[in-house]
Structure 1
Amino acid sequence: MGDRLIERGLLTPQQLEAALALQRRWGTRLGDVLLAQGWVRPYAFYSVLAEHFGRPFVDFDQSPPDPSLWREEDLTTYTELLVLPWGRSKGGILTFAVADPDPEALQWVRERAGEPVDFVITSKFDIIWQVQRHSEDYLSDYAVNELFNRDPVHSARRVFTKAQIAGIYTTASLALVSLAVWPITTLLVFNAGLAFFLLINFGLRVLFTWVGSEAEIDIKVTGEEVAALANADLPTYTVLVPMYNEPEVLPLIVDALRKMDYPLSKLDVKLVLEEGDEVTISAAKEMGLEGIFEIIRVPPSLPKTKPKACNYALAFARGDLVTIYDAEDQPEPDQMKRAVLAFRKSRPGTAVIQARLNYFNREQNWLTRLFTLEYSLWFDFYLPALEALHIPIPLGGTSNHFDMHILRSVQAWDPYNVTEDADLGVRFTQLDYHVGVVNSTTYEEANSRLGNWIRQRSRWIKGYMQTYLVHMRRPLHLYRTLGHTGFWGFQFFIGGSVLNALLAPVLYLMFAWWLITHGRALDPLFPAHILNISLFNLLIGNGFLIYLSMVSVFKRHLYRLIPYALTAPAYWLLQSVAAYKALWQLIHKPFFWEKTAHGLTGASGEMGKEGKA
């Protein structure tokens, strides 16, 4: 192949020599190396490949395939093995177009066809584009409805079930009757329950930070283990990059993926773009990307959400593992290798490994500093503790590394849930799969503008509300599948996060009213023992949360952020604003995806490398 490419002036001897060196280092085929490096254009390469195998080359623009020969249940296999039924010869023999004529693909064709077959060669991009063009309706319907059709109890498509609506009305009615008949007693019971709930919630977060601070929790994969990993043993890795109207940040993620410490010839990168997003599609085309990058155009359908787009793109994935990166992400270069090793060291049935997230523009303003404090506590302390305590982990929206087989077996993401990965983490645990955390970080762009932050945070909280409602449809089943610790951890970590944000303004207003007026109207609601617990929550509990925000930066040595933790209460109030917006949207626009603008800072991902956990 190398000699043929040189003879046709498609490759220089120096490039061939470099490609052979990469082939030995990466443990992949020469053609994969050449396409991954972009040294030979795909159309030219596959033309020469056809000559090498002595088979005709077919350009689908000139000789399109016959879609009537396709089987819908095989569409994923077509794109995975890069084969496609093309037509029948004059003698009636079924002919398949293949882009990768390896023994596995050819054997699958022969077994699946059940009749004599012939082969022609075509470009892998021709196969992908043809499947998108002729099967987009089927794949779009699959992406939107497959989870609801197969497992409706775990789909957020129905926001409230009839039982939940009945329960809400019954509880509200009983509360109103009780309030009318026994007003003081009812308010006292409610106040006492709230005080104890907040006390336990504060205690759990201290516990999570304590457990998450243990040194052995951080030692998942060592640098020595990464260095000893043989490239030839690495699996093919699919990377989904969902984007919408973000041409300005496309070069960032492309450059980050090129710099990954992973054989480029084993990367299968899907730029997941909405069909109407011509500005980003044009930007991707103009970049002249290497053969590892493919544009997946998501046809218009509702709901218009990131998980729906990822479900659609998953039909074209060829990796054994799959991860998601947002357009502005800057993952540490060895993250994929660490994820591979983490899977190998994890328990059987591990479905996903979550990398940690942090921000590269943390010093931009007050909002980004508080955002960094929050994320550091969440990903460096809370999530490792949840894993250690066997409590369901609400995954972050990026840098999740999935076992492809398991992900497909559970119908992937819920297109109706606007925090799809948080829901998927809980669903995995319910289905008896495991979720792990790896000691590698992806650096993102923290929201630096208040309106943008509110939009993003309200979507996250709305998704938490959806996740809580979905998984509490069968509370007894949830208890049996999660166990005592997992069930109550879910109540306080998922449900409690939402409840805290909704109740905080009410409690602050009550305290402010008492502080200003010194009124005694609330005294009946605060007998001595309840008053003591409430004061403990207000002073010690909130004080501990501020202290935990200070502690959160120690793993990354971001000591300059410590003084800003004293302003955390103002940040919590902003979360309450977002929570009430989320509650309104849950009722009126449950599936609306509020777009978050990226590229609002000129900072680069390199800023994040100084503080590595």
Structure 2
Amino acid sequence: MTARTTLTPDRRLLRAASSERYAREGWLPLAMEDGVVTVATSSPLVGRRRSRVEAEIGAPIRVRTVSQRDLIAAYMSVYGAEVADLAADGLYRKNPAMSARHVLSRGQVVALVVALVVIAAAAVLWPLVTLMVVVGVASVIFLASTLFKFEVALRGSRFDLVDRVTAEEVAALDDAELPIYTVLVPVFREARVVGRLVDNLGRLDYPADRLEVIILVEEEDDETREAIARSEPPENFVILTIPKGAPQTKPRACNAGLEVARGEYLVIYDAEDAPEPDQLKKTVVAFQRSDPSTVVMQAALNYFNARENVLTRMFSLEYSYWFDYMLTGLDVADLPIPLGGTSNHFRTAALRELGGWDPYNVTEDADLGIRASALGYRVGVVNSTTMEEATSRMGIFVGQRSRWIKGYMQTALVHARQPLRLARTIGLRRFASFALLIGGTPVTFLGVLPFTALTVVAFFIPWDQLSVAFPAVVFWVCLLNFLIGNGLMVYLNMMGPYKRGTFWLVAWALLNPVYWILHSLAAYKALWQLITKPHYWEKTEHGLSEFDERAAAFA
């Protein structure tokens, strides 16, 4: 990394009305001498652009060319506290009902208390009946959610809505006419992998003068910052230090990056990601041929270490079915799509209109997808793949999944605060989809352990003893629902490898019931954390795999 030039803006020259545009437009007033203002700029300041800046400053200007890296550092030295405040609470101030800052609204608290009192009273007065009703309702939700996913995935299997961009279309692009593209990479305690990250992003086929890579590093994370410096990133890589603050989450860091992003388009990558080199150009073409209502393009995700162990194989099966069938099925049915956490390509203006990410929601991607859908926006899928590292260790996996499931719980609670209004806005069909996918998924996972226990018990306890607690019809309906649900998910996971040609994974789908037990453990951890520390971000450690993504990627 080259030595940084220290820029010290004269605060008397800064205008509050212009503050959010300084970094986004790449200019900043520095000092005035003899009536002339020196303006730092990271891009040419000529013609109408120069005239507009002079008019805004109210004085003739002298241009000083600097790197965007230096300009953002100077900007943050003045506006860092404001950026941090907006990153944390901008959405909450704009639309409190859409923020997970408060887990439950007042109405939800009242409804929950009433429901618990009614259930407790019923359990005292009619214990067996109450038990049967609770188990029966959970069984119906379990099967309904599973059937919904099965139907959507089957529908998706009949279509291929991926916005296919050919190599010829990519080659036809004129580099001089490409829009500025911003890449946001939130990292925290990722010193182990940032060197590889710089290499991976350095392979992106996009002109350097139009590519802005912003690596978002928490203020106290000196180890990662030093590792980035040792990797000697190119000049168009900007290291943005996120000021200390709460909540300390990935979406808060991304919101800070959004505040200074210059790109017409913007993409999120995680620290371990290896996107295909032409992914940005493919996405530009895909956006150019789509209508303005398509504000997000989702690239597919896959794992370079799928063969590492049983857990990574199950991870790969799940992602194959999700990205190749579920997303397509949701899209063709015009249903809300929860985004993945990485390789989401946005129209930056639309992302700002949506209020950015909710820093209090630990699955900010899913929440943003639902919020975009509620406003009538659409999500496209582009034919490009980003290789990631699948979690290969059990403890880390349960922690990661508990965060994801907790985020689904948060998203369900946030968007159900005004259920009638939401149903009127998006329609009953899409509301039902939201309820079954976002609300039903955590409930399904919570039901796996008790239903598994019930299934095991059925083989070891004589029926005359078991029927004391469960009438035959209740027991067999619940057992049938559980077995059908597991069978459907095994089938869906077997479908996953077909579009990708990874047929060696098919047989591993038989282990899906065991995989779901891990999810159930994570769901109970998520529920506990939702109560005790709802905004805690369960960090997923990367760089533990011994597999080389370059050897496995894009094979």
- TM-score by structure 1 length? 0.86
Q: Which moved more, 1:125-134 or 1:502-511?
A: 125-134
Q: Which moved more, 1:535-544 or 1:371-380?
A: 535-544
5 Å-filtered alignment, 1:59-78, equals: 60=6, 64-78=8-22
Q: Give, in whole Å, the separation in 1 of the partners of 2:9 and 2:479.
A: 73
**Residue in 2 aligned with 1:24?**
none
Amino acid at match of 2:265: L
Amino acid at match of 1:99: S
Q: Give, in whole Å, the separation in 2 of the partners of 1:104 and 1:374.
A: 52
Deviation at 1:500, TM superposition (A): 0.7
Helix, strand or coil at the partner of 2:104? coil
**Residue in 2 aligned with 1:417?**
361
Check whether the contact 2:296–2:380 (CA below 8 A) recurs between aligned residues.
Answer: yes
| 1:98 partnered with 2:37 | no
Match of 2:61 among 118, 123, 142: 118
Q: 1:210 to 1:225 in 2, by over 3 A?
A: farther
Check whether the contact 1:239–1:269 (CA below 8 A) recurs between aligned residues.
Answer: yes
Amino acid at match of 1:435: V
Q: 1:219 to 1:429 in 2, by over 3 A?
A: closer
**Residue in 2 aligned with 1:313?**
257
Structure 2 gaps, min length 5: none
Amino acid at match of 1:565: A
Helix, strand or coil at the partner of 1:395? coil
Q: 1:312 to 1:191 in 2, by over 3 A?
A: same
**Residue in 2 aligned with 1:541?**
485
Check whether the contact 2:306–2:390 (CA below 8 A) recurs between aligned residues.
Answer: yes
Check whether the contact 1:390–1:485 (CA below 8 A) recurs between aligned residues.
Answer: no
**Residue in 2 aligned with 1:173?**
117
Helix, strand or coil at the partner of 2:39? strand
Deviation at 1:87, TM superposition (A): 2.3
| 1:505 partnered with 2:431 | no
Q: Which moved more, 1:330-339 or 1:184-193?
A: 184-193
Match of 1:382 among 326, 350, 362: 326
Helix, strand or coil at the partner of 2:186? strand
Deviation at 1:312, TM superposition (A): 1.0
Match of 1:470 among 393, 414, 438: 414
Match of 2:390 among 446, 450, 472: 446
**Residue in 1 aligned with 2:374?**
430
Rg comparison, structure with higher value: 1
Deviation at 1:219, TM superposition (A): 5.2
Q: Deviations over 1:50-69 (max 9, x none)?
A: xxxxxxxxx645xx321232
Helix, strand or coil at the partner of 2:499? coil
Q: Give, in whole Å, the separation in 1 of the partners of 2:3 and 2:459.
A: 72
**Residue in 1 aligned with 2:348?**
404
5 Å-filtered alignment, 1:179-198, equals: 179-198=123-142
Q: Give, in whole Å, the separation in 2 of the partners of 1:389 and 1:507.
A: 31
Q: Give, in whole Å, the separation in 2 of the partners of 1:518 and 1:487.
A: 43
Q: Give, in whole Å, the separation in 2 of the partners of 1:352 and 1:180.
A: 51
Deviation at 1:268, TM superposition (A): 0.3
Q: Deviations over 1:103-147 (max 9, x none)?
A: 35413312322x232223141333221111121111111111111
Q: Give, in whole Å, the separation in 2 of the partners of 1:197 and 1:98.
A: 57
**Residue in 2 aligned with 1:158?**
102
Check whether the contact 1:191–1:525 (CA below 8 A) recurs between aligned residues.
Answer: no
- TM-score by structure 2 length? 0.94
Q: Give, in whole Å, the separation in 1 of the partners of 2:114 and 2:488.
A: 37
Q: Give, in whole Å, the separation in 2 of the partners of 1:599 and 1:383.
A: 28
Q: 1:175 to 1:104 in 2, by over 3 A?
A: farther
**Residue in 2 aligned with 1:282?**
226
| 1:265 partnered with 2:196 | no
Deviation at 1:534, TM superposition (A): 3.0
Deviation at 1:230, TM superposition (A): 3.3
Q: Give, in whole Å, the separation in 2 of the partners of 1:131 and 1:451.
A: 41
Q: Deviations over 1:517-564 (max 9, x none)?
A: 124455377556545543432333311211211111111111111221
**Residue in 1 aligned with 2:337?**
393
Q: Give, in whole Å, the separation in 2 of the partners of 1:201 and 1:525.
A: 26
Check whether the contact 1:42–1:291 (CA below 8 A) recurs between aligned residues.
Answer: no
| 1:558 partnered with 2:502 | yes
Helix, strand or coil at the partner of 1:554? helix
Structure 1 gaps, min length 5: 1-37, 44-58
Check whether the contact 1:75–1:315 (CA below 8 A) recurs between aligned residues.
Answer: no
Amino acid at match of 1:117: P
Check whether the contact 2:276–2:386 (CA below 8 A) recurs between aligned residues.
Answer: yes
Number of aligned residues: 553
Amino acid at match of 2:111: G
**Residue in 2 aligned with 1:365?**
309
Runs of 4+ in 1 over 4 A off after TM superposition: 524-532
Check whether the contact 2:159–2:328 (CA below 8 A) recurs between aligned residues.
Answer: no
Q: 1:248 to 1:218 in 2, by over 3 A?
A: same
Q: Give, in whole Å, the separation in 1 of the partners of 2:469 and 2:437.
A: 27
Amino acid at match of 1:106: R
| 1:108 partnered with 2:43 | no
Q: Deviations over 1:77-119 (max 9, x none)?
A: 11122211222223x4444333322335413312322x23222
| 1:351 partnered with 2:295 | yes
Q: Deviations over 1:587-607 (max 9, x none)?
A: 111111111110001222234
Q: Which moved more, 1:154-163 or 1:172-181?
A: 172-181
Identity of aligned residues (%): 42
Amino acid at match of 1:261: D
**Residue in 2 aligned with 1:7?**
none
Q: 1:83 to 1:448 in 2, by over 3 A?
A: same
Q: 1:268 to 1:104 in 2, by over 3 A?
A: farther
Q: Give, in whole Å, the separation in 1 of the partners of 2:522 and 2:259.
A: 35
Question: Larger relative CO (CA 8 A, sep 6+): 1 or 2?
Answer: 2
Helix, strand or coil at the partner of 2:403? helix
Check whether the contact 1:249–1:599 (CA below 8 A) recurs between aligned residues.
Answer: yes
Check whether the contact 2:42–2:65 (CA below 8 A) recurs between aligned residues.
Answer: yes
Check whether the contact 2:142–2:443 (CA below 8 A) recurs between aligned residues.
Answer: no
Amino acid at match of 1:128: I
| 1:141 partnered with 2:85 | yes
Deviation at 1:191, TM superposition (A): 3.5
Over the aligned positions, Cα root-mean-square deviation in angstroms equals 2.1
Q: Give, in whole Å, the separation in 1 of the partners of 2:265 and 2:187.
A: 20
Q: Give, in whole Å, the separation in 1 of the partners of 2:312 and 2:140.
A: 32
Deviation at 1:250, TM superposition (A): 1.2
Q: Deviations over 1:218-265 (max 9, x none)?
A: 454344433333333321110011111212211222222222232233
Q: Give, in whole Å, the separation in 2 of the partners of 1:393 and 1:547.
A: 22
Helix, strand or coil at the partner of 2:101? coil
